[in-house]
Structure 1
Amino acid sequence: MKFNRIEKEPSVKLFDGERWLIITGLIGLTLSIGIALFIFFQGHIRLPEGDMKDAFSFNAAIGIFILSIAAILPLVRFSDRKRKVIRWFFIVASIYSYVIETVQNFRGINPRFSRVGTEIDIVAGILFGVISLVLVALAVILMIHFFRIKSPYERPLLILGIRYAFLSVFVANIAGIWMIILQDRLTGDAGNLIVLHGLGFHALQTLILPAWLLEKAQVKDRIKNRLIHSGSIAWLLMILLIGIHTGFGRSVFELTILPIFGSVLFFIWLASVISAFVFFIKPKSDNNLPIDQPPLTQQNR
């Protein structure tokens, strides 16, 4: 156990005991780097259906996702046995996903919705969909457990950010199931569900990082909570608007009312992140003083 230098509360270390999840995440990032080099020399199109850009972005996204899970899993208060089961479900699902996404695209086969593949390719794609649902179920399990943690609990600011992040991940999972049902990522004339899916999952970084910065900052607790709430709510509303707009079959990059309002919400979130970073790097006059207590003067010592 270590102690937060500002709030003097015991805290569980991020990534503690999650060596294999960390390795699994790094495998995805390493694969994405290798694929980027392949694309540079060979191009990204692999006929008839493959696109190595998809493999690059997928492996990088899963790698970052698994590293994020490795960071927060020690905070969820699972028993050792349950935590081990969850860990290995994540690892096995991720490894299969890396392999099928990379190998099939390299072979020129769409790993999910192939129209030219053999029966084996179709079965592999169906299994890929099942694996995706397993990842959805694991994310829901973690979300439920983080919301069921009762106070007082360790690292409350981080737990708050994680709860908001999993609400965003829940929306991303809905987009993922939507794509499975459609057997495609496109909807309507110009809607692309992958934007909603990707942004929703990246809340595990965009909403947790500010909370981590703020728990180390020397600033009043009410300011910390306001920043986390305002930034996270803005992010969730942005995700909701993107989902509605995509559901209408419209591109989120067009200059209409919903994307414009979503952009405003994005900048509200960004302002909260910048504020958290500023408070984080702000010089600390006396780390041993309570936050709300002014420094002692020579007269009142």
Structure 2
Amino acid sequence: MFKFMKLNRIENEPSVKLFEGERGLIITGLIGFILSLGIAFFILFKGHIMLPEGNMKDAFSFNAAIGIFIISIAAILPLSRFSDRKKKVIRWFFIVASIYGYAIETGQNFRGINPRFSRVGTEIDIVAGILFGIFSLVLVVLAVILMIHFFRIKSPYERPLLILGIRYAFLSVFAANVAGIWMILLQDRLTGDAGNLIVLHGIGFHALQTLILPAWLLENTQVNDQIKNRVLHLGSIAWLFMILLIGIQTGLGRSVFELTILPIMASVICIIWLGSVISAFVFFIKPKHDNHLSTDQSSVTQQSR
């Protein structure tokens, strides 16, 4: 009996696990967090302005963002069905581009040089900035390759909810990459009177957490598949509409934080996404709560006997 239950449990476990075999990417992502922590302490004691044009807050946010991004890629890459050779190539491109980004963003800001759009740097600084742009484009290309590949994966899917969440997430990441290329072409993050492309860029990339985490939560619930899919579709579509409204507002050269129709609509839609995440979390903890109550009731019954 025990042997049968053990075999049944093993068969129900997914054969492809998140983060499996991606130690290099995980370490690379953790480096970004460690650098951000060190920069936070530096800012606490020395301030964030590094003359003539450096800003350690930019280095802090960049390293943290890349760290989160690479950790997210480490989580989903095992699900890509790439061959070992292709995964190795993609993995090392991500690692090299990220390490260069960490070094340039941190080092140049510490020296008081804008790592991307310097106006006071030497020829070497300008070349380093150009290389920074090239490596940024490498990350864009890799993200597009992964997006296309995940959309081309054919059923049956071993983990369909995760695949669905990943597909939605990459649509948001694509919008973030468009904002990144836009910044490169403008040689600035500001557009119009008050538009800031970095907001669209950052929020778009966070879909790798905000849309994939609910998919993982729903995957580990006992709710029927129809409800799971509805919750995931609702939250993901709401997120993409929010990204669209933020993109339009930014493209108009206006701040996404002003109280006008587009930001207000984006906020309302964001609440819908948040509701889907809360629902996924409730579904996730409910079976465990029920099992805990059942165990307690069983214990009371045995004691009464």
| Gap regions ≥5 residues in structure 2 | 1-5, 292-305
Give structure 1 regions of 4+ aligned residues with deviation exceeding 6 angstroms: 2-5
Which amino acid is the alignment partner of residue 152 of structure 1? P
- What is the percent sequence identity of the aligned residues? 85
Distance 1:247 1:8 in 2: 48
Contact 2:204–2:243 (8 Å) recurs in 1: yes
Other-structure match for 2:22: 18
Residue 232 (1) aligns with residue 232 (2) = no
Other-structure match for 1:171: 175
Length-normalised TM-score, structure 2: 0.91
Displacement after TM superposition at 1:218 (Å): 1.0
Displacement after TM superposition at 1:9 (Å): 6.5
* Alpha-carbon displacement from aligned partner over 1:63-112 (angstroms, at most 9, x marks no partner): 00000000000000000100000000000000000000000000000000
- Secondary structure of the 1:283 match is helix
Residue 253 (1) aligns with residue 233 (2) = no
Distance 1:256 1:12 in 2: 46
Given the superposition, is the C-alpha separation of residues 63 and 4 from structure 1 closer, same or farther in structure 2, using an over 3 Å criterion? Answer: farther
- The partner residue of 1:156 within 160, 163, 171 is 160
- The partner residue of 2:61 within 48, 57, 78 is 57
Which amino acid is the alignment partner of residue 149 of structure 2? H
Other-structure match for 1:293: none
Contact 2:221–2:287 (8 Å) recurs in 1: no
| Gap regions ≥5 residues in structure 1 | 287-301
Distance 2:17 2:23 in 1: 13
Other-structure match for 1:46: 50
- The partner residue of 1:200 within 178, 201, 204 is 204
Displacement after TM superposition at 1:242 (Å): 0.3
Which amino acid is the alignment partner of residue 39 of structure 1? I
- The partner residue of 2:287 within 283, 286, 289 is 283
Query: How many residues matched?
Result: 285
Other-structure match for 1:289: none
Other-structure match for 2:110: 106
Other-structure match for 1:182: 186
- Secondary structure of the 2:24 match is helix
The 5 A counterparts of 1:210-221 are 210-221=214-225
- The partner residue of 1:30 within 29, 34, 39 is 34
Q: What RMSD over aligned residues (CA atoms) do the two structures have, in Å?
A: 1.7
Other-structure match for 1:89: 93
Structure number with greater CO (CA < 8 Å, separation at least 6) is 1
* Alpha-carbon displacement from aligned partner over 1:245-273 (angstroms, at most 9, x marks no partner): 00000000000000000001100000000
Residue 132 (1) aligns with residue 136 (2) = yes
Distance 2:243 2:31 in 1: 29
Displacement after TM superposition at 1:3 (Å): 9.8
Length-normalised TM-score, structure 1: 0.92
Displacement after TM superposition at 1:283 (Å): 2.8
Other-structure match for 2:294: none
